[in-house]
Amino acid sequence: MSNIKDSIFLKNLRGEPCDRTPIWVMRQAGRYLPEYMAVRKKLSFNELCRTPEAACEVTLQPIRRFGFDAAILFSDILVPLEPMGAPFQFGDGGLTPGTYTFGSLSIEIFPSNEGLVITILDTDTGEQTQVIIPE
- What does the pLDDT look like over 52-81, one tens digit per residue? 999 999 988 888 888 888 888 887 877 887
Q: Closest by alpha carbon to 43, among 32, 57, 29, 30?
A: 57
CB 61 within 8 A of CB 74: no
40 or 92, greater pLDDT? 40
The last residue of a domain, from among 45, 71, 97? 71
- Please state, for a pLDDT cut of 70, what percent of the chain lies above it: 88
Same domain, 88 and 56: no
pLDDT value at 94 more than 60: no
Same domain, 64 and 30: yes
Q: What is the pTM of this model?
A: 0.57
The last residue of a domain, from among 46, 71, 96? 71
Same domain, 90 and 122: yes
Same domain, 86 and 124: yes
Same domain, 66 and 113: no
Compute the average pLDDT of residues 39-50: 89
Rounded CA-CA distance 100/86 in Å is 6
CB 126 within 8 A of CB 109: no
Q: How many domains does the chain have?
A: 2
Same domain, 85 and 37: no
CB 99 within 8 A of CB 107: yes
Domain that holds residue 67: 4-71
